[in-house]
Amino acid sequence: MLRTLALLYITLLRDYLFTSQKVLTYGYILSGRFLLSILQEGLIRSKTVSSWALAKFTIEKGIRMNKESIYGLTFDQLAAWLKEYGHKKYRTLQVWDWLYRKRVTNFSEMIDVNQECLQLLAAHFILQSLSEHLMQESADGTIKFLFKLKDDNLIETVLMRHKFGLSVCVTTQVGCNMGCSFCASGLLRKNRDLSSGEIAEQIMKVQHHLDNTKQGDKVSHVVVMGIGEPFDNYKNVIDALWIIKDHNGLAIPERHITVSTSGLPDKIYEFADSNLKVNLAISLHAPTNELRTQIMKINRAFPIEKIMQAVDYYLEKTNRRITLEYIMLKDLNDRREHALQLVALIEGKRRLTNVNLIPYNPVDEHHQYQRSEHESMLAFYDTLKKQGINCSIRLEHGTDIDAACGQLRSKQIYVEARMEVYLYDDPENS
C-alpha cells in the first residue's frame, strides 16, 4: 500500500508540474494540501492505481488524520490564517462566536458562515480531537473524564463543583517524567506532549457535557494540575492559556486560572516575564532537599534553593501571590518539625505566599505512602498559622472514585492490556 501511494505521489507531482508550470515549495509538495489541490483542480487523472475514487479517498483520509484541533488557535492566529485564504476579519468573528459562545460540535452547524469557508475549515481542522472513553461521577458531583486522543492515547480531565463555581482540572502531557514517587500520573512515563488545542479542548468537552444537561452551568475556573508537568510543555500550555482567557472565547478570567509546576526554575523565570496574570502554584511537598529528593526525583536536578530563587524573582516581578502545595504523607513530612522548617523556608516572602495542605489520595502501586491523620493535618495547619503563614487545607473531591491524578488512566490501561492478553490467549479467538 505504501509503495502504491509513493508511486501515486510521484506521478501526481510529475504531471502537475508539467501541466501547470508552477513553482512549489518543498514543504508544500510534502503536504496533504498539495495533493488535495491537484485532485480539486482536476489537472491529472492518475493511472498509478486502478480507482481514482480510491486515490482521492486515501489522500483525504491522510489529510484528516493530520488535522489539528481548531481550539489550538488564538483569535489572532485564526484571523491571520483565514486572511491567507482571502477571508475578512468579520468571518473570524463569526467562526469564533460559533466555537465559544454557541459552542457547536460540527462545522456544518455554523449556518451563517459561507460554504467556501466551512469547507476550508473542515479540510484543515477538526472540532473533536478528543472522544469520551470513560466517565466516573462522584456522590459530591465531581466528574472524572477519561478522554481518548486521535492517536488512541488516554488522558484525564476532572470537573469539580465548588461554592464559588465549576472548576476543570486539565492534563498537559500523556504520562509524566517528573518521577514523584507518591503520584499515580508517573506510573506511566511520558509518551508525548499535548498540543495547545488538546489542552483547550478538554475544557470545551466538559462545557459541552454541561450544555447537554440543560442546567445553564458554565466552567468558571481552570487548574492546570492534571497528568504531566505543565512547564515541561511550556509553549503549548502558554498558548492554551491565551485561548482560555480570551474575553470573546471561553472568557475565563486570569485570576480564575492556576498553573501548577513541580519546579522548573528557568520556566518560572519565563512565566514571570510572560505578562500573563495567571496564578502560579509550586508542588513543593517537602521543606528540605533531603526529604524532597526522597519523594520527588526532579529535586536532584532542581533543588529547593534554585526553586525559591526563581520564586523570589516571580514575586518581585509580578507582586502576585504564589501557592506552595504540600501533600500530607503520614509520618514522612507531616510532623511539627517539618512545619517549622517550612516556615523558615518561606521567611521573608510570607506576605505573598499561601501554603495549601493536600490530603493524600492513596495509590495501590505506592502502598508505602499513607494519608496523614486528620489530627496531624490540623496540628500542621495550626503550627503554620501561629507563625503567621497563610495556609489552607484543600477541600477533597471525588474520594469515592479514582480521585488521584492519573489513577483512572493507569487502571484503565492495565485493564485493557489484560483484556488484550486474554483475547490473544483465548483458543476460541485463534
User: pLDDT tens for residues 209-253?
Assistant: 999 999 999 999 999 999 999 999 999 999 999 999 999 889 999
Give the residue numbers spanning the domain of 312: 131-414
pTM for this structure? 0.80
Q: Does residue 17 surpass a pLDDT of 50?
A: no
- The DSSP code for 186 is G
| Average pLDDT over the chain, rounded to an integer | 84
Q: Which amino acid is at 254?
A: E
pLDDT score of 367 = 81
3-state secondary structure of 120: helix
Which phi and psi angles does 213 have, rounded to 5°? -80, -10
Whether 183 is catalytic is no
- Decide if pLDDT at 361 tops 70: yes
Specify whether 106 is located in the same domain as 136: no
Confidence of residue 179 (pLDDT cuts 50, 70, 90): confident
> Are 193 and 308 contained in the same domain?
yes
42, 104: one domain: no
Query: Which CATH number characterizes residue 241's domain?
Result: 3.20.20.70
8 Å CB contact between 282 and 269: no
The H or E element containing residue 95 is helix 89-100
pLDDT, residue 402, reads 60
342 within some domain? yes
- Same-domain pairing of 202 and 271: yes
Domain for residue 420, yes or no? no
Q: Return the DSSP state at 423.
A: H
What average pLDDT score do residues 277-303 get?
Answer: 97
Whichever domain contains 74, its CATH number is 1.10.150.530
Catalytic residue flag (residue 169): no
Q: How confident is the model at residue 364 (pLDDT cuts 50, 70, 90)?
A: confident
In Å, how far are 141, 155, 405 from 144, measured between CA atoms?
10, 10, 10
Distance, CA of 43 to CA of 18 (rounded, Å): 10
Asked if residue 57 belongs to a domain, the reply is yes
Which among 132, 137, 156, 396 is annotated as catalytic?
156
pLDDT at residue number 185:
72
Count of domains for the chain: 3
Q: 106 and 138: one domain?
A: no
Q: Please state, in angstroms and rounded to a whole number, the distance separating the CA atoms of residues 390 and 285.
A: 16
Strands 125-126 and 68-69: parallel
From 117, 176, 180, 405, active-site residue: 405
What is the per-residue DSSP string for 298-358?
Answer: HHHHS-HHHHHHHHHHHHHHH---EEEEEEEBTTTT-SHHHHHHHHHHTTT-GGGEEEEEE
Using the 3D structure, point to which of 46, 66, 86 is the last residue of a domain: 66
